[in-house]
Amino acid sequence: MIRLIVQRLLLLIPLLLGLSVLLFAWVRALPGGPATALLGERATPEAIARINTLYGFDQPLYIQYFKYLTRLLQGDFGVSTRTARPVLDEFITRFPATIELTVVALIIAIGIGIPLGYVAARRAGSIIDHSSVVVSLIGVTVPVFFLAFILKYVFAVELGWFPSTGRQDPTINATHPTNFYVLDGILTGEWDAAWDALMHLVLPGIALGTIPLAIVARMTRAAVSEVQNADYVRTARAKGIKPARLRGDHILKNSMLPVLTTIGLQVGLLLSGAVLTETVFAFAGIGSFLAEAVFNADYPVMQGFVLLIAVVYALVNLFVDVSYGLIDPRLRRQQ
C-alpha cells in the first residue's frame, strides 16, 4: 500500500510539470502578451514596457519559465491583480466553501445513485428499472447552470424554502475558526449558524450533484447486473448463503470497484461544475472566484487555481486507488 502511494505521488511530478508548461505557454500566447492582458487593450506602449520590465516578460522564455517554476516550488503562485493578495491565500480562504459544496453533492450522488442503480439492476425490466434509466438520462443532459436557475427560482424565490445566495445569512454573527461554516457552527455550539449554513448548501448541492448522481446510478446498475450473474454468485446462492450476506458480500461489494472509479472521476466534474453553480448562487468558493478572475483577466489567479485544483484532483484519485485494496484483497496483495 505504501508503495502504491509513493508511486502515485511521484507521478504527480511530471503531471504538474507538464501542466505548468501549458499554463506558462497559454499566458504568453495571449493577444498582445501578458502585459496587455494585465493592463487592458488601451494600455500605452510605455506602460506595457514598464510591466514587461517589472515582471521580466522582456527576458528569454526559458529564463521566464525557470523563474516561474522556481516560484512555484517555493509555494509562490503569484499575486491576484484584482485583490492584491497572494493567490495561495485566496485559494485557502475559499477552498473550504467548495469542499463543503462538493461533499454535499457527493452525499446526494452516492446516497441516491448507488441504491437507485442497485434496485434497478435487481429488478431489471421493471418500472423501477425503466424509471431509473429515464431519470439518469435527464440528469446527464440537463445543464448544471439551467438546473441551478430552476431550483433557485422555484424553491428560493417562489416558495421561499431555501436561501437563494451566499453561504450564510449576513445577520448571523457566527464564528469561523476553520472557514467550514457547518463544522464551525457545530464546534462552537452555534447551532443556528450551522443550520443556516446547511440550508444554504441544499440547492447548490442538488444542482451540482445531479449529473454525478445520474452517472453513479447508471454505473452501479451496469456493475450489479454483471456481478449478480457471475458464476461465483450462482455458486454462493446454490450453497444456501443467506440473501442479505449474498447481496452485501458477493454482489454489492464486488460491484463497487467500477463505481469507485466513477466517483473519483466525478470529483473533477464537481470542481468544474462548481464554477457555474457557485456563480449562480453567489457562493463564495473557488469556482465563483475563478469565474471572476476570467471576467477580470486575473491571470495569476487562473494559473494558480488550475494548478492547485489539479493537485486536489490527483490526491482524490490517489485515495480512490488506495480504497481499491480495502474492497478487493487480491488488489491489496498486488499492491
Torsion angle of the four alpha carbons 105, 106, 112, 116, in this order, in degrees rounded to the nearest 10: 130
Domain ranges of the chain: 2-73, 91-334
Q: Is pLDDT of 311 > 70?
A: yes
* The three three-digit cell numbers of residue 154, written as one number: 422555484
Work out the angle at residue 54's Cα, subtended by the Cα atoms of residues 53 and 57, and round it to the nearest 5 degrees.
Answer: 55
Q: Is the pTM of this model over 0.95?
A: no
What is the rounded average pLDDT of the residues 302-310? 84
Grade residue 316 by pLDDT with cuts at 50, 70 and 90: confident
CA distance 198 to 205: 10
pLDDT, tens digit (0-9, with 9 covering 90-100), for 239-287: 777 777 767 666 777 777 778 777 777 777 777 667 888 888 888 888 8
The DSSP string of 53-76 is: HHHTTTS-HHHHHHHHHHHHHTT-
Task: Report the number of secondary-structure helices (H) and strands (E) in the chain.
Answer: 15, 0
Q: Phi and psi (nearest 5°) for 139?
A: -60, -35
Percent of the chain beyond pLDDT 70? 85
CA pair distance 52, 88, nearest whole angstrom = 23
Q: What angle do CA 182, 183, 188 make, to 5 degrees?
A: 105
With 70 as the cut, is the pLDDT of residue 326 above it? no
Mean pLDDT, rounded, for 194-201:
89
Fold topology of 91-334: MetI-like fold (1.10.3720)
